[in-house]
Amino acid sequence: MVRPPLWLCFQMNAQGELDFDAGNAGGGYTRWLAQRRQALVELARQINLPLNHPVEVWLTGGIRLRGKLQLQEEKLFLTEEHLGPLALRVDQVPFSINEMESCVRLD
């Protein structure tokens, strides 16, 4: 007797925990985005930098950057333990917070 492959024996909707047919599927994602934005605002306040705003940054060596100040790498969770050494970028130019001499918000 030939048995069918194991993956054919499982039904697609056998897992009851994930209800993809629920009407309010986007609510959790929307709340997560709002919490993430709030965490970014709190981080910007703690490090006293205008994240997600236009800035003029002076780096060591006399390098001037103008553009939007952002975290270099998008993180899922914005906590002190997950940040480590803070890497930033202005537009597409990455740099470390240790390289920054000054930062002025332009808006």
The domain segmentation of the chain, as residue ranges, is: 50-107
Which residues, at least 6 apart from 98, have a Cβ–Cβ distance to it below 8 Å?
A: 85
Is the distance from CB of 66 to CB of 54 less than 8 angstroms?
A: yes
Instruction: Look at domain 50-107 and name its CATH class.
Output: mainly beta
What's 99's DSSP letter? G
Please give the Cα distance from 91 to 13 (Å, whole number).
Answer: 44
Please report, as a single letter, which amino acid is at residue 2: V
| pLDDT tens, position by position, 42-100 | 878 888 889 889 999 999 999 999 999 998 876 655 555 555 568 899 999 999 888 99
What's 5's DSSP letter? P
pTM above the 0.85 mark?
no
